[in-house]
Amino acid sequence: MAKNYWMVAQRLEDFEVTRDLGFTVHGLKERQRRRAQQMEPNDNMLFYVSGVRKWAAIAVVTSKYYEDATPIWSGEETYPHRVKLRPHIVMEEASYIDALLLAPRLDYLKRWPPDRWPLAFTDTLHLLSQKDFRLIEGEMKRLHPDWKNRPRRRGRNRRGRLGQNAAGNGTRGQNSEGRQDGTAPK
């Protein structure tokens, strides 16, 4: 289970490099070393493309922070503080999530005037709440062709009872004999 939900704001050129690398690595600037050190395996990383104001992908952190000054992204900065990634959801460009429509619903942006919310994403790394992350992830899953038709997995509810299976068969609340809990045997 993820411990942190990171959002990375990248310029389109840098996002394309990350995409071309298959979302296998992400680097942070020197001034973000402490935040890079906070990243742990199973943290989630959401990619926001600042030039187009859209969310485009989610990756999962698979390594602890390490240093590597090999140039990968554009510019003079080498982004030496890195973590390894595994892609989770990668949207097609036509299906990127439009932040103009979804961003006003984020708790992260409540302190910003509605017409100035893009200023909240001027820095390149943000720590989101699970609620905000799940809102964006849910929209990605709703639109992504590989996620649209997946049967929903149902786990145990708060009382420890099993939910319905993907076929909709009633396993909810049934005891080992197939009766609903609290019913008398026939």
- Work out the end-to-end distance of the chain between its first and last CA atoms, rounded to an integer number of angstroms: 43
- CA atoms of 102 and 148, how far apart (whole Å): 19
Residue 174: pLDDT band with limits 50, 70, 90: very low
- Where is average pLDDT lowest: 61-65, 75-79, 137-141? 75-79
**Phi, psi angles (nearest 5°) of residue 71:** -65, 130
Q: What is the pLDDT of residues 112-167, one digit of tens each?
A: 888 888 888 888 899 999 999 999 999 999 988 877 666 656 555 555 555 544 44
Using alpha carbons, select from 106, 171, 182 the residue that is nearest to residue 137.
106
- CA atoms of 50 and 37, how far apart (whole Å): 24
Q: What is the pLDDT of residue 156?
A: 56
Query: Residue 20: which residues within 8 A CB-CB, separation 6 or more?
Result: none
Q: What is the pLDDT of residues 16-45, one digit of tens each?
A: 999 999 999 999 999 999 999 999 999 999
What is the value of pTM for the model shown?
A: 0.77
Q: What is the pLDDT of residue 48?
A: 96
Whether pLDDT at 173 is above 70: no
Cα-based distances in Å from 76 to 66, 70, 132, 155, 178: 20, 12, 33, 48, 66
Give all domains of the chain, ordered by start, each with its CATH number: 5-148 (3.10.590.10)
Q: What is the pLDDT of residue 22?
A: 96
